[in-house]
Structure 1
Amino acid sequence: MSGNKKEKAALPSLQSLMAEQNPLQMQVLMTTLALANTESQALISDVLMGSGPVGTMAQGDPMGAGEAFRAVGMNLAQNPAALMRANMELMRGWMGLWNEMTQEALGAEPAPETDKRFSDPEWQTNPGFKFIRKAYEVNTKWLMGLADHATDLPENLHLRTKFFTQQLTDIMSPTNYLGTNPQALRAFMESGGESVLNGIRLARADVKKAGGKLHISQTDETPFEIGENIATAPGKVVFRNDLIELIQYAPTQETVYSRPLLIFPPWINKFYILDLREENSMIRWLVDKGLTVFVVSWRSADDVTKDYTWDDYSKNGVYAAVEAALQASGAKKLNAVGYCIGGTLLSGTLAHMAANGDDRVNSATFFASQSDFELAGDLRVFTDGPGRSYIDSLIEKSGGVMPGAMMYETFNWLRPIDLVWRYVIDQYMLGKSPRPFDLLYWNADQTNIPGKVHQRYLKDCYYDNKLSKGEFELLGETVDLKNVTIPVMVQASRDDHICPFESVYRTATVFGGDTKFVLSSSGHIAGVVNHPDAKKYQHWTGGKITETGAEWLETAQEAPGSWWPYWWDWLKPKSGAKKKAVQPKDMGLGAAPGTYVKVRLQHIKLPLK
């Protein structure tokens, strides 16, 4: 901590940098800065006019942000007391700001900075930048609280207002603009303007790469090759149909447990997040424990699969993979894992199996997966009427497919500070070329989704919550998760912005058998993929299953490090007796990681309308 403070204190101030310039140099720099700032403003406009949620507001507002804002405005107009309270909060915020600035001018100790966007020392030491930051914070707090003052506002409009207000306040952060970002101005002064000029070159390269539309590069993808330096666990493809490839991994032990483990990853991303590098590979860790591990690799939707339905994913995905894994391993039962939407599909299929006396799945584990969507978070913005209509229009324009590029944009805009504006600043303002990072390579390696599958997910699961209510239809039957009586473990991540902790916790209450719940720290990816050797984060176990996750956490025990060993202690006795290990059979389908995983979005031509 002290080292960071020393490093920040050593940074030259903007005043000292300006004092070092002679008048002619200063005039040239200021002229260049004015031109660069104009280009920067245009660049921000290009970012906002993209496919993110805010961009839709400039494209006819198909997601109904204007409707939500109008509802709040009309509500407050009809409730003068609430409007007065909101404005009093704004007034108190500004009075507090003036008082704070006055006290610090008299020598009082400034408050510590907690927002990482404002970590540059100029935000604390330069009175002008400090005032800009504090004013932004006061106005942001007031804007974010307006919807809460509106009484009797429908829940969907309240959620939509909060979501779009958050997007707008994030956009307005002074760090996003060259003229009010001291870090960018310092880099500009130190480089003689080269930082911004290089940033413009990077922006134009991103526009060219995306065929005329700005697509922010988060990483240098050139060093990575699937099967060569990522997704390298050895194995064979032992089954293939038009929807999935089933990969069986080679054993590393002389004996293995008789019941294999079959993993259903999400089809929104590719499976190799579970085998990104040797040192953090969950697949390798499980194989080293003596398990025969199978993983489903989903096909990115194209002309062959674009009309597939949820039933097709259950029949040709879950059922087909279970049958093929048992046949390849010689086992009669297996343990299953579902990650994110792969878990949603698995839970419904398990209910269908239970209703038909199919007991081939011995236990199920769910990673960051929802079967109850009552508290599903910000993604619900995309599931009410305007949100689904917007998604429907995208699918129609893309020939019946939900484009992976749009999914990528959506998930980025759920965390815009980290996944959008950070890269706008680092690359386009500071002029830093993106660095190679395997996790971001995986994050950008998106897949297309059959439109019918995505539409049903949004309506029947997110909006109507039919799966948890026992109203979901699958393969011609209405399925009830209470019929799933096999042992279940549900894992959630405390800071997950895609599948929130409380939402995943509700999933732990919907099954009919013995269910364990484990909570990890971190988010949707790092909370799940946390190798024990990394000795990172912590997890919580042993709480009493009650109505809310907060109540569960009060009775849970915290332990350091990864949650995987806790899971293994639960899974091991369910994995059967030991037997001699055998290598995966060569079915003539190729080696792991298979062929479907290597198909990138640019390889698929959609019949755009």
Structure 2
Amino acid sequence: MPDTHPYETLDRALRASRARITSGVSPHAALSAWMDWAMHLSRAPGRQMELAHRAQKNGLKLLRAALGGGDAPFAPDPQDHRFVHPGWSVLPFSLWKNAFLATQDWWDCATAPQRGARAQSTQRVNFAARQMLDVMSPSNHPVLNPEILQKIVETKGACLAGGARHLAEDTLRTATGERPEPSGTYKLGETLACTPGKVVFRNDLFELIQYAPTTEAVHPEPVLIVPAWIMKYYILDLSPHNSLVRWLVGQGHTVFAISWCNPTSAMRDKSLEDYRISGVMAALDAVSAILPGRKVHACGYCLGGTILSIAAATMARDGDTRLASITLLAAQTDFTEAGELMLFLDEAQVAYLEDMMWDQGGLSQEQMSGAFRALRAPDLVWTRAVRRYLMGLEEQEFDISFWNADATRMPYRMHSDYLRGLFLENRLTAGRFAVEGRVIALKDISAPTFVLGTEKDHIAPWRSVYKTTLFTDNALTFVLTGGGHNGGILSEPGHKGRHYRIGHRRPGADYMDPESWFACHGPQEGSWWLEWGRWLARHSGARGALPPMGRADLPPLGEAPGTYVFQR
């Protein structure tokens, strides 16, 4: 039935209205997971006995702890910082903490994989149970949290008044749809995204920024950066001290970067293919027009790396040899192990999101950021709420938190193409992703490739990023660095505590699984930027004359960071 049929339009409109109420979460997808888990558990008396024994065992541990015997019976996850205050080790707070952790432990056991049940169902139930437990955590209650009580005493209750003011401000802002204004500590073009350059090309999807050289000579091959369109590009040109763009320019490279627009509902029909043709390929054509006859080092970050991989495989298929090398930073090409985001994606969930986006014209910033906050609710939701509303603390602003709040929208058709074609159906590595009517393959890429994963990445898990090595045959360098999806990328030389592992694969070499690779490549102290710089230099020509800024027949359109980065 076509979408334009009035019956189908009615159904989609009703589903879209329900989706706005549930923030895009499909009730059917959630209910089916709980039913699958519960039905299999009901038919497993041995499993039920195991859970009963677990409850009894945890209860005895709690009793011993309450009577002051033995060590702490339960420990929170290393990444859970809600119970670090020393007051949690003193009765009665320690008892409340351990009761919460005991319940959490039982649910983790109850939602472990069950024979016959879909793995996605048990994972979803585990995620939902964790979300519900997080709501009831004693760390969220002013009477049960020793850190809050201490703050109340120290401030003579003033923290509660300050928290009430914060709550009123945020509630009003949410009701009116108003976005918070920046504090003034960071300002685009002055303290962030401030590497000097010019906008040398613009279309309806992006602006192309060419950065001014800072060395007396440069390598002939320019670097083209393709960032993710889910956020603003300047994560790679953040503050001057941690700007990857500024560092590259200082290494003698001519750097170009795409700055994506923030699409409106009028761009609802822009497709993933539009982002390839009018985005990546248009940028590459512009670079080639400014520097004709030169090959290009292409670098893609996150979703930008995914679309770059698609573009590179298409170019390889069609005999386009303009790429000198390809760099993929925390970018996935295979989505079978795509991390916690996969918990939200099945046919029911994707269809539900599609209906909501069909009605709105796209996915809003708030709906997008809400999904990522849910993945790390203890830190990004509850700890923030406790500190802001119960302790009256102002949030300290950092350059990366400023950028993180500067989210963008996603066009309906493009995001649908991405979710369905890549996440849900995994067409790219399954040999079913067609461009212009013909299937492409990553193994056709012959340009040397540099692939980076980060150890704590919950958006693009490093083992998923590593799978690029399974579907390519070219010379490939894989680097695993410490940190998360964003923090691991911002690993400038001199950053304390940074480390990385690096390995090189020759063309045609046998595949090495990720666990074996990890065991064979020990950690090295320092920044992966230096390794990438040396790798780029090896695949570049000798330094020579400085390039022109833009085309001789087309003057620059303005100063960096351009105009699209300011769109809200």
Provide the TM-score with structure 2 as the length reference: 0.90
**Using a 3 Å threshold, how does the CA distance of structure 1 residues 556 and 266 change in structure 2: closer, same or farther?**
same
Where does residue 229 of structure 1 map in the other structure?
A: 191
8 Å CA contact 1:494, 1:500 repeated in 2:
yes
In structure 2, the CA distance between the partners of 1:60 and 1:587, relative to structure 1 (3 Å rule), is closer
Q: 5+ unaligned residues in a row in structure 2: which ranges?
A: 1-16
Contact 1:352 1:477 in 2 (8 A): no
Is 1:412 aligned to 2:377, yes or no? Answer: no
Identity of aligned residues (%): 35
What RMSD over aligned residues (CA atoms) do the two structures have, in Å?
A: 2.4
The aligned runs of 1:536-575 (5 Å cut-off) are 536-542=497-503, 546-575=511-540
**Worse-superposed segment, 129-138 or 87-96:** 87-96
Pick one of 69, 78, 89 that aligns with 2:54.
89
Give the AA of the match of 1:539.
Y
| Structure 1 counterpart of 2:262, from 289, 297, 300 | 300
- Structure 1 residues 66, 303: closer, same or farther in 2, change over 3 A? closer
3-state SS of paired residue (1:130): helix
Contact 2:248 2:255 in 1 (8 A): yes
Which residue pairs with 2:22 in the alignment?
A: 56
Shift in CA distance, 174/528, structure 1 to aligned 2, threshold 3 Å: same
Q: Give the AA of the match of 2:38.
A: G
What is the CA-CA distance between 1:70 and the residue it aligns to?
Answer: 2.3
- Segments of 5+ residues of structure 1 without an aligned counterpart are 1-50, 601-609
Find the residue that maps to 1:236 and give its secondary structure.
Answer: strand
1:3-57 CA-to-partner distances (Å, cap 9, x unmatched) read: xxxxxxxxxxxxxxxxxxxxxxxxxxxxxxxxxxxxxxxxxxxxxxxx9x99839
Structure 1 residue 146, shift from structure 2 partner: 1.3
Whether contact under 8 Å (1:261, 1:291) holds in the other structure is yes
Counterpart of 1:137 in 2: which secondary structure?
Answer: helix
The answer to whether the 8 A contact 2:74-2:101 is kept is no
Q: What is the CA distance between 1:304 and its match in structure 2?
A: 4.5
Q: CA deviation at 1:555?
A: 0.4
Aligned to 2:6: none
2:146: which partner in 1?
A: 182
Once the two structures are superposed, what CA deviation does each residue of 1:331-357 show, in whole Å capped at 9, x if it has no partner? 421010010111110111111111110
Question: Which of 127, 133, 154 matches 1:169?
Answer: 133
Residue of structure 2 in register with 1:143 after alignment: 107
- Cα distance in 2 for partners of 1:487, 1:588 equals 32
Whole-angstrom distance in 2 between the partners of 1:201 and 1:87? 46
Other-structure match for 1:199: 163
Superposed CA deviations along residues 580-603 of structure 1, whole A, max 9, x for unmatched, are 113513724101111111101xxx
Q: Deviations 1:122-146 (Å, cap 9, x if unpaired)?
A: 2102x11111100111110111221
Q: What is the distance in 2 between the residues matched to 1:174 and 1:109?
A: 17
Instruction: Please state if 1:361 is matched with 2:323.
Output: yes
CA deviation vs aligned residue, 1:448-488 (integer Å, no higher than 9, x gap):
11111111111111111111112111233211111112111
Q: What are the residue-to-residue correspondences of 1:322-471 with 2, within 5 Å?
A: 322-398=284-360, 400-471=361-432
In structure 2, how many angstroms separate the alpha carbons of the residues matched to 1:214 and 1:86? 47
Residues 280-323 of structure 1: per-residue CA shift (max 9 Å, x gap): 11001000000000000111111453211111111001111111
1:483 aligned onto 2:444: yes
- Looking at structure 2, the residues matched to 391 and 320 of structure 1 have their Cα atoms a distance apart, in angstroms, of 30
Cα 1:512–1:149 shift into 2, 3 Å: closer
**Residue 208, structure 1, aligned to residue 163, structure 2:** no
Equivalent residues of 1:247, 1:294 under 8 A apart: yes
Normalising by structure 1, we get a TM-score of 0.85
Alpha-carbon distance in structure 1 between the residues aligned to 2:50 and 2:177: 43
Return the alpha-carbon distance in structure 2 between the equivalents of residues 548 and 463 of structure 1: 24
Q: Aligned to 1:159, which of 102, 123, 126?
A: 123
> Alignment partner for residue 558 of structure 2, among 573, 581, 590?
590
Q: What CA deviation, in whole Å up to 9, does each residue of 1:523-575 have, x standing for no partner? A: 00111111012233210112777453222100012101211111112111212
Q: How far off its partner does 1:159 sit? A: 2.7
Q: CA deviation at 1:187?
A: 1.5
Label 1:451 to 1:303 Cα distance change in 2 as closer, same or farther (>3 A).
Answer: closer
- Aligned letter for 2:484? G
Deviation at 1:185, TM superposition (A): 1.8
Indicate conservation of the 8 Å contact 2:500/2:527, yes or no: yes
From the superposition, tell whether residues 547 and 376 of structure 1 become closer, same or farther in structure 2 (CA, over 3 Å): farther
Name 2:461's counterpart in structure 1: 500
User: For residue 561 of structure 2, what is the amino acid of its counterpart?
Assistant: P
The residue that corresponds to 1:129 in the other structure is 93
Contact 1:56 1:63 in 2 (8 A): no
Aligned partners of 1:418 and 1:173: how far apart in 2? 13
Instruction: Supply the distance in 1 between the matched residues of 2:511 and 2:562 (Cα, whole angstroms).
Output: 43
Cα displacement (A) at 1:61: 5.2
Find the aligned partners of 2:205 and 2:64 in 1 and give their Cα distance.
Answer: 63
Q: Distance in 2 between the 1:171 and 1:61 partners?
A: 20
Alignment CA distance shift 1:255-1:61 (3 Å) = closer
Q: Is the aligned partner of 1:290 residue 2:252?
A: yes
Note the C-alpha offset of 1:436.
2.5
